[in-house]
Amino acid sequence: MTIRPLIILPDPVLRQVSRPVERVDDAVRKLADDMLETMYDAPGIGLAAIQVGEPIRMLVLDVADKDEAKNPQVFINPEILTRSQETNVHEEGCLSIPDYYAEVERPAGVTVKAIGLDGKEKVVEADGILATCLQHEIDHLNGVLFIDYLSKLKRDMVVRRFRKLAKDRPPPARMVG
């Protein structure tokens, strides 16, 4: 398993719409393993493939409490089938927007259909942090970030801050040979 570098705001890659996965093959299983390793290392509770530069519709998450056993989950080609009328406000963060957190209102419950790593279809009824995390990650697959739910003023401030940080940051090392 490999820890992959994370794509950070304002990289335009984060705004790409990811394409569906056609086959759950070894390459997809290896990417899922790498994504879980990258998420646990960060640490985070979710990760979409586009955050490691792979524009495919796959996300991983683990919302287990610290004192519980790990519960890694993989969702391939996820689709939200239903959203509750009731909403919840959760503080959200994003591994692509490090050290910035803000409250976001979303449907409190969702039903999500997806394919698992075993290639079989699954339907998950989610509430609480699982519902929030699934919606946050599915947004990534559509090029949407949680800062898009904030006021324009707040969003522009965050983007400006990360543009400045990107200018000051040395470019990533390139492989040669």
Residues that bind Zn ion (CB under 5 A): 94
Work out whether 50 is an interface residue with ligand K1U (CB under 6 A): no
Q: Residue 176 Cβ, how far from ligand K1U at the closest point, in Å? A: 31
Using alpha carbons, select from 120, 37, 14 the residue that is nearest to residue 77.
120
Work out whether 8 is an interface residue with ligand K1U (CB under 6 A): no
CA distance 11 to 166: 9
Which residues on neighbouring strands pair with residue 74, listed in sequence order? 60
Q: Is 140 within any annotated ligand binding site?
A: yes
Site residues for ligand K1U, window 61-90 (CB under 6 A)? 90
Site residues for ligand K1U, window 26-45 (CB under 6 A)? 43-45
Q: How many CB atoms lie within 10 A of CB 59?
A: 28
Q: Nearest-CB residue to ligand K1U?
A: 44
User: Which amino acid, 50?
Assistant: I
Q: Residue 43 Cβ, how far from ligand K1U at the closest point, in Å? A: 4
22 is catalytic: no
Q: Is 94 within any annotated ligand binding site?
A: yes
Outline where 16-105 has alpha helix (H): 26-41
Outline where the chain has alpha helix (H): 26-41, 128-141, 152-168
Residue with tokens 């490691």: 52
Query: Under a CB-based contact definition with an 8 Å cutoff, are residues 44 and 95 in contact?
Result: yes
Contact residue for ligand K1U among 14, 52, 133, 138 (CB under 6 A): 133
Partner from ligand K1U, Zn ion, none binding residue 92, C-beta < 5-8 Å depending on class: ligand K1U
Q: Residue 32 Cβ, how far from Zn ion at the closest point, in Å? A: 17
Cis? peptide before 10, omega within 30° of 0: yes
CA distance 131 to 107: 8
Contact residue for ligand K1U among 136, 138, 141, 162 (CB under 6 A): 136
Give the footprint of ligand K1U on this chain (CB under 6 A). 43-48, 90, 92-96, 132-133, 136-137
Question: Binding site for Fe cation: which residues?
Answer: 94, 136, 140
**Residues noted as catalytic:** 137
